[in-house]
Amino acid sequence: MPAKTEKVVVSGIQPSGKLHLGNLIGALLNWVKLQDQYQCYFFIADLHALTTGYDNVKKLREDIIDVAVDLLAVGLDPEKCVIFKQSDVPEHSELHLLFSMITPLPWLERVPTYKSKIEELKGKDLGTYGFLGYPVLQAADILIYKADMVPVGEDQLPHIELTREIARRFNFFYGEVFPQPKDLLTDVPTLPGIDGRKMSKSYNNTISLSDPPDTVIKKVNQMITDPARIKREDKGHPDVCTVFSYHKVFNKPEIKKIAEECQSAARGCVECKKEFLNHLLKYLEPIHKKRAEIIKHPEKIEQVLQEGMLRAKKISGATLNEARRAMGLK
Ligand code: SF4
């Protein structure tokens, strides 16, 4: 493992429901590696959760704590990285406000996730100032720590480009304050939801890290397989099968054999699911154990967030002062 450098990495995750296998594979496992290599700031993005979930905040507090528990359960270590809640560090919000003065509206309207999210959450009123402006808040989240790198998936690349554009515009108007962070593109497989669609809490098709084993079993049993395989003797097409996508992640060494057996109808879907389930339950067991241990001590969770907040404020406060001075406010 390379030695830890001074380079800063920032990333956040929304507490909009329970964290799931997609979050684990797509982001959290990478975070666990990054904490050994860089100065990492990982935050629970509760303000971002409000950009789409502003009309239902009853469970927000509970979700925030749940996310904190999951972060610790998957292996984030407060000795190695800074873990905090976004709204505990109001410097993010003030920098967001300052950036909003210089961000042209068309920059926000052209962000691809703006339209795709509206499509995904059809029926929800997202014609709000906060929702349109969430990439500006994201830019503030990143630049307030003068991040060198941001771990992202492909769909988030336009947000990082926008962050760089905002940094450049700020520096152009007021002098060099912000760096232009690079994207740390994470090449990870995308897990579909159990119904074969994109995995999303809004589709209710996820397997949560906090799901007890009997719920995991139920969900795996509901997974969509190859829809053309009606009878046991029909030959299968693993590439269109949801279960196969999961085998690719959790049962990698067996993948070739499973594909061959599926294509020749030498294996049935029931046994195939059972085999995957065994791997998944074994994989989740240490996370479940650690979770159970952590929730016994809620005061320690609060302490992690409190200490994280103090460490985050040290850096973010200094950057905000620089930005205020540059803009003539100080
Ligand atoms: S045998 Fe396995 S890979 Fe093939 S269709 Fe059934 S569940 Fe999917």
Tokens (6 digits) for 33: 């590696």
**pLDDT for 250:** 92
Q: Which atom of ligand 1 is nearest to the CA of 268?
A: 1
Ligand 1 pocket member 65 (CB < 6 A): no
- Residue 226 CA to ligand 1 center (angstroms) comes to 6
Check: CB of residue 181 under 8 Å from CB of residue 8.
Answer: no
Max intra-chain CA distance, the chain: 75
Ligand 1 pocket member 226 (CB < 6 A): yes
Q: Residue 2: pLDDT above 80? A: no
| Higher per-residue pLDDT: 4 or 310 | 310
Q: Which atom of ligand 1 is nearest to the CA of 258?
A: 3
Tokens (6 digits) for 215: 């719920």
Confidence of residue 161 (pLDDT cuts 50, 70, 90): very high
Q: Residue 214: pLDDT above 60? A: yes
**Distance from C-alpha of 122 to C-alpha of 84, rounded to nearest angstrom:** 31
- Residue 234 CA to ligand 1 center (angstroms) comes to 11
Confidence of residue 116 (pLDDT cuts 50, 70, 90): confident
Confidence of residue 114 (pLDDT cuts 50, 70, 90): confident
Confidence of residue 120 (pLDDT cuts 50, 70, 90): confident
Single pTM value for the model? 0.92
Tokens (6 digits) for 220: 């795996």
| Higher per-residue pLDDT: 48 or 115 | 48
H-run or E-run covering 84: strand 81-85
